[in-house]
Amino acid sequence: MSHNVASPETLDKEDSSRYVQPHLRRLDTPSAPRKMGREMTRKLLTLDEASERTGISKAQYRWMRQQNRGPKFGLVAGRLRIFEDDLNRWIEQELAATATGGAA
């Protein structure tokens, strides 16, 4: 559905139903995405992907987030996500903190 934008002064009674204020107009084609500073190069994981990699359940991840534990979490479009490198860093920290045995 396309709307013509015209000034109210130039409209006759038949065209007045098609007038849309410029700030309320809906564009039929999406605009190109805007670049915001640096480009995103870090990979985001879903809880399913993080669970598959670590064997930790999604419920456990949610509990850790509530307790302010575990890797860094964030919401993207209302969905919980974890950066892959944050998950890897957290795993390394956990292993280092609990490591036993082996050569010093």
To the nearest 10°, the Cα dihedral for 59, 65, 71, 77?
A: 90
What is the tally of structural domains in the chain?
Answer: 1
Element (H, E) at 75: strand 74-76
Residue 96: the pLDDT is: 92
Whether 16 maps to a domain, the answer reads no
Q: Give the range of the structural domain holding residue 67, as residue numbers without chain letter.
A: 44-96
Of 26, 92, 20, give the one whose Cα is nearest residue 54: 92
Looking from the CA of 16 toward its CB, the CA atoms found within 13 Å total 5
Please, which pLDDT band fits residue 33 given cuts at 50, 70 and 90? very low
38-91 tens-digit pLDDT: 556 889 999 999 999 999 999 999 999 999 999 999 999 999 999 999 999 999
Task: Name the percent of the chain in helix, strand, coil, to the closest 5.
Answer: 40, 10, 50
Whether 67 maps to a domain, the answer reads yes
